Homo-oligomer: A and B are copies of this chain.
Amino acid sequence: MRRYLAVVLIFAFAFFSSARPARADEGMWTLDNFPTKAVAKRYGFKTTPAFLDTLRTASVRLPGCSGSFVSANGLIMTNHHCARGCITNNSTPQNDFIKTGFLAAAQPDEKFCPGFSIVSLVTISDVTKTVDAATAGKTAAAFNAAQRAVFSQLETACAPDKATQQCQVVTLYNGGRYALYRYRKYSDVRLVFAPEEAAAFFGGDPDNFNFPRYDLDCAFMRAYENGAPVRTPNFFRWSKAGPANGELIFVPGNPGSTSRLDTVAELEYLRDVQNIAALRSLSEQRGLYTQFAQESPEHARQATSILFGIENSLKATVGHESTLLDPAFFAQRRAQERADRAAIAKNPAIAARFGGAYDAIAKAEERARDLEVVYTYRERSGAPGFYLATARTLVRAAAERAKPDALRLRGFNDAALPQLVSILSAPRPIFADLERTGLAFNLTKIREFLGPDDVYVRALLGNDSPAAVAARVLEGSKLADPAVRKALYDGGAAAIAASTDPAIVLVRATDAMSRAARQTFEDQVGAPLAKNEALVAQAQFALHGLSRYPDATFTLRVTYGTVSGWNERGTPVAPFTTFGGAFAHATGSDPFALPASWTAARGTLDPSTPLDFVSTADIIGGNSGSPVVNGKGEMVGLIFDGNIHSLGGDYGYDVRDNRAVAVDSVGLLAALRSIYHADRLASELSP
């Protein structure tokens, strides 16, 4: 997975439906609807409310990822690739912690992560009736506006203390159900430990989404409050025994999004339009930044994060597309839809309420094909680069804050503003070469797809080349200075109108067109899709009742399964790898070179110590950093990837070969002790 979430979400506007019966080990279950009976029947395990409570309270959500508390003092375990932003932001050309790893010798050495916050789920409340009442009888844009308004009211009322609380209305079962999730928020998070990237991402892109695997993809952070570590009495205790083959395990986490019961028209749109656009865009960016990184060690350092995200997203998109192009898969989905529609048609009451939904979705997707390019390049893919994206946020914040809360664009509601201000005010390093290259490239793409004579393109470029515009922005904009950003935010519409910052000037000249593209798409595609997907889901409820899990929504879910290998084209793949295997897999050349710390410790490590393992847990992007928990509630592993077959998990789960890949708790502790001599940390984890 590797947090391709952020990038792929750019293209994901659809909401999703669910109706197939869940198969063995399948399902991303909400905490309030866990299939305790099925687990008891299949595994003889009694899932108590206390057990589920621990899964909830010890789990945290990070930006794009999952994590867990693993000590009573706010210690958080997640993946290296989920902490990458923090590691990079604390690095300098002289001290590159991505390369060297980082270990805080003592607690005061733990490093603040700018702009980074985490949340832990406190309560779930069903708000379906309130939402449905607010939108009753409304359609299209009016439906959207009413829903936005009621979401905003609910969220604002639920979180009076913005500093420590965060609330979100979650649309489940495509609008079959709405739930208000209240979180405890921690905005002071500090880096405790990260291994070298060569260990965390050993095997690099070639091994990504593959298994056997030998990665130590971990990072430890700590939540603080008022300058001191937070007390977290509910945490996952470390398992000294680690996981066993065949053992029942649970994985709490935040799967990002799935589309397991999109209609055929929606899947066709993904397959024929969105995924192909994404494959082209990501492949081109990959080539660009690969070469950029070749140019100097400094460029390599600058590009490492973006390249990482791109390769991740690309592999995920390849996996998705190959599932959608599988003729057997598609035939099965067509057959399923025919059966569903026949069942609806047979029941006149259900048919009258929901019968038109499938065709309405198909019509909206037709419209999406027409609007796709303009919407993507004027609006959806975001203003390109740090400067224009920041300028767009500032320009919009000024305009939106002048409106009543209920009428604002999402992201600019009162409930969201504190986080926005915190991000705007936090310092962050700007890599000028990377920004210039990326901005020129993205402006070129905008021109390529919209055409050189497009009015939006002319407003952006005038008679200049993309490179010249990028240079002008990089030289003239002061938005890299957090004080400037804050002042523009605080100054509101007047400050924006008066600004001569070239990034603000460009966005001011184009934002009306971007907003118009968004509005058109929302009215003609987003709103009818949202409405009719909800109708499809409600038709399923009416037919089958609510006995299914909803599609993933980047909120807390629990999945279960067993530690288990699989058969790859007839050859069995064993569930565990070892340190010995890691040394054998190493060639000494990047990305198959283990760091010096590993080579030095080789003699002190038992080669048979387990390092990584696979299980049948049904996970997806966003689950990165999830703990793997045994029946005693102990942490036995740390999810960091899925195998190549897991990529089709967006559209369906196949227990035969869909596998989650995790670091073994035994191997992790051995590495901390023998390779990194991180005794303070190891003792806190396993006293």
Footprint of B on A, CB under 8 Å?
203, 205-207, 210, 272, 276, 279-281, 283-292, 294-295, 318, 321, 325, 437, 441, 447-448, 451-452, 461-465, 468, 587-590, 592
Contacts and interface: CB of A to CB of B under 8 A. Distances in A.
18 contacts: A203-B452, A205-B448, A206-B451, A207-B452, A210-B451, A276-B276, A276-B321, A284-B286, A284-B290, A285-B287, A287-B287, A287-B289, A290-B441, A291-B437, A295-B295, A461-B587, A463-B589, A464-B589
A292 B290 CA distance: 10
B283 A287 contact: yes
Given A276-B325, A287-B289, A287-B290, 7 more contacts: A284-B286, A287-B288, A290-B441, A291-B292, A294-B437, A452-B587, A463-B588
A287 B291 contact: yes
A280 to B, nearest CB: 5
Given A283-B280, A448-B205, A452-B206, A325 B272 contact: yes
Contacts of A318: 280
Nearest to A293: B291
A437 B325 CA distance: 33
Contacts of A286: 284, 287
DSSP class of A's interface residues: helix, strand, loop or mixed?
Answer: helix
Contacts of A321: 276
Contact of A206 (B279, B291, B447, B468): B447
A138 B441 CA distance: 55
A680 to B, nearest CB: 36
Contacts of A207: 452
A366 to B, nearest CB: 10
Contacts of A294: 437
B589 A468 contact: yes
A343 B479 CA distance: 70
Contacts of A295: 295
A143 to B, nearest CB: 29
A214 to B, nearest CB: 12
Contacts of A210: 451
A590 B285 contact: no
A588 to B, nearest CB: 6
A605 to B, nearest CB: 21
A464 B588 CA distance: 7
A75 B321 CA distance: 51
A288 B286 CA distance: 8
A206 B466 CA distance: 12
A317 to B, nearest CB: 10
Counting chain B CB atoms within 10 Å of each CB, the highest count among A203, A281, A465 belongs to A465
A280 B279 CA distance: 6
Nearest to A462: B587
Contacts of A284: 283-284, 286-287, 290
Nearest to A440: B294
B452 A592 contact: yes
Contacts of A276: 276, 279, 321, 325
A456 to B, nearest CB: 14
A20 to B, nearest CB: 24
Nearest to A290: B288
